[in-house]
Amino acid sequence: MRLMVARCTVDYEGRLQAHLPEAVRLIMIKADGCVAIHADGGAYKPLNWMNAPNTVTEEEGRWLITNPKGESLNVEIHEILSDTKWEMGIDPGLRKDGVEAHLQELLAADPTTLGEELSLVRREFPTDIGPVDLLCRNADGTAVAIEVKRRGEIDGVEQLLRYLERMERDPALRGIQGILAAQSVKPQARVFAESRGIRWVEIDYDSLRGIERAQMSLFD
């Protein structure tokens, strides 16, 4: 990962146009090619970003980031205050809390509760940037990656998009689809997911647990 603190201006062109006037910001380039530009505020959300795959062209005082969709991020560097690189290695992935892990377990036992004919291939399917929660196949045999969250937010959609981009490179998974499954999905995440071709599903934890209890009673 490369971290640069610099006085810069930023211009985005793509689905719309956006301009960040000159100010000191953190520019982050991750090993997978994701680029994010942060201010010293605004919590975790960057001011602007480009998801992988990207092409980063570095010139004197200027970075140009482009992607296959025709989007571009032009970063004009006026003053560099810090510029460092870090080798972070492979991340083991996020460890789920009790409810989230149980949701994953219940959905793995019966993925058809997500509203279509799905059969489980594997839980915690590995990618080079971490494991996706569930890998399934639908009735047509198409691969479906499912990310399970308690709360579905924009960062969950972005996480699933990164997994899908990696998995699409595998010929056996070509054409893979994505589902974000959560107890609640925020409106912004719904819009973002739909714009990227990802289906979102709100799941009822208590109902899933009821199914589990019924199965347990059946075999008591």
Q: What is the pLDDT of residues 110-167, one digit of tens each?
A: 999 898 899 999 999 998 888 999 999 999 999 999 999 989 999 999 999 999 999 9
pLDDT mean over 174-182 = 96
CATH class of the domain defined by 2-85: mainly beta
- Predicted confidence at residue 41, as pLDDT, reads 79
Beta carbons of 13 and 72 less than 8 angstroms apart: yes
CATH of domain 98-218: 3.40.1350.10
Computed over every residue of the chain, the mean pLDDT equals: 87
Closest CA to 54 of 79, 78, 37: 37
- Tokens coding 192: 């973002």
Same fold, 2-85 and 98-218: no
Q: Residue 30 carries which side chain, given as an amino acid letter? A: K
User: Is the pLDDT reported for residue 49 higher than 90?
Assistant: no
- Tokens coding 188: 């912004």
Question: 9 has which bridge partners?
Answer: 76
- Predicted confidence at residue 134, as pLDDT, reads 95
- Residue 187 falls in which region: left (phi positive, over 0), alpha (psi -120 to 50) or beta: alpha
Closest CA to 162 of 91, 113, 112: 91
Q: How many other C-beta atoms can be found within 10 angstroms of the C-beta atom of residue 44?
A: 7
All structural domains of the chain with their residue ranges: 2-85, 98-218
61-86 tens-digit pLDDT: 999 999 888 899 999 999 999 999 98
- Predicted confidence at residue 219, as pLDDT, reads 40
Quick check: pTM over 0.85?
A: no
pLDDT mean over 33-49 = 84
- Predicted confidence at residue 14, as pLDDT, reads 85
